[in-house]
Structure 1
Amino acid sequence: MCAVAVLEVRFVNIADRRPVDLNGIPLPRFKLCQYCRKRMKKASGCCVQCSYGRCSSSFHATCAQAAGVHMHPDDWPFSVFFTCWRHKGGTHAERNTASLQGLDEGQRVICKHKNGRYYQCEVAELTKATFYEVVFDDGSFSDNLFPEDIVNRDCLKLGPPAEGDVVQVRWTDGLIYGGKFVASHVIPMYLVEFEDESQLTVKREDVYCLDEELPKRVKARLSVASDMRFKGVFVEKEVKEDSKRQRVVNSRYREDYIEPSVYRAIME
């Protein structure tokens, strides 16, 4: 459970779910859990953080489970969406994909950018894509494989395998896994363009209309970028507005004050 919940942890062998590689965990993950810190005299174990906005609540995955914290599958690369007791109302609301209306070229929508936040964008092109569904040997499955992910058959020339055929799939980690072919699906896709001129091809369920009620997890990651004034937001750089009121240094700490230019140089 901890290995799935912690973003930086990975399975060396995905099929066997072991061994577990912990080398990527940053030290800030090992801070006190809000549930067991009264019992533990020192920080012990790796913590996860509430996924709602910028909430700083941290807890062990097992402590959170015992405390009734809501956990839901999340969009890659965040495997699990956690909501602490203060934000337990901000859980996922599953969308009925069958009832979603089609989109038109030029329509303004909301979609997830590559930086993990949501922005308004424009539907640039309507396309279709073929996805394969495969059940892997370990019992897991994927329904969004591309034909070129099948390495033991040239599916682009020969078409999809027969149902039940044994296939070998090259996964995103570059390794090859065995499984059985289930079916192929032709799904409408939408090419959306953001205000930083980047483009993504996404499924209908990944796009939200402007008049649609957004899930709270989307609202928590929603950003505004209009008239290209906030282009830096898309690459997660600091955005400075001239109209923003400047901070005034408290006289008690004036001797500790560092000029912004010096501070930025130190941080760099």
Structure 2
Amino acid sequence: MKGDIGNDDYRKLLDSIYHQYGYDFTEYAESSVKRRITHFMNGRRIGSCDELQAVILDDEGIFEEFVQEMSVTVTEMFRDPAFYKEIREKVTARLATYPVIRLWIAGCATGQEIYSMAILLKEEGLLDRTIIYATDINQKSLMAAKEGMYSLEHMRVYTNNYQLAGGKGSFSDYYTAKYNAALFDKTLRNNVVFSPHNLVTDQSFNEFQFIICRNVLMYFNQQLQSKVINLFDESLCTFGFLGLGDKESLLFSGRKDHFEKIDGIQKIYMKIK
């Protein structure tokens, strides 16, 4: 595709997607969405927004590929190790006071964060009484998360992250090498509920002691960020915890006074009212 996507064409495309499929991208950061749309069109030699609209409204399979393009799936295990180290040191002791711990990993992508938290909770003696709700808008990513198989070439980075995050054992004990892949121990996901969930349009579905949503809000505009923070606020129990990405904050949220900073650098908060 040559040239920029016009605002009218852009709005028309997103409105048509919302009306047919219920996916609302209108409050995502516009520059990011336009860049991803352009990449999608170039890869399939689609010449205009009107042509793209006709194709994805006619073919649900292509629309699923479009959602995959719109979704953020770049992640790694124990990404930003200091975040996990702070959870070990400042969050797990309070989580241990609950007979059942409900953890929501919102925007779980291909699952590296799920297994990272499962390993951490296992080492802290909390995994057996934790239910992890792993949700994402992208069904293909959810399938990859459920499979728990990742390229062996990433294991060196993942191992280093694990050690920096305060890992208490040998990271290789948690997976089995199989050909060029690492298959993570299925017991890590015994208490994981994998489910599609759209942060833009779906509602709260439980009460949680801990919600992690990292490097997702940064792709939303300010209005949508506030909406999602409200959703998290409504979903957390009093004294529950919220973990965001290092480029995200509660600064512009109307609910910021509902939270107390546990770690301002690692963006870990506790709900206080």
Instruction: Please indicate the TM-score interval, normalised by the length of the shorter structure.
Output: under 0.3
Q: 1 or 2, which has the higher helix percentage?
A: 2
Give the alignment's TM-score, normalised by structure 2: 0.23
Higher RCO, Cα 8 Å, sep 6+: 2
Q: 1 or 2, which has the higher strand percentage?
A: 1
Give the alignment's TM-score, normalised by structure 1: 0.23
When Rg is computed on C-alpha atoms for both structures, the one with the higher figure is 1
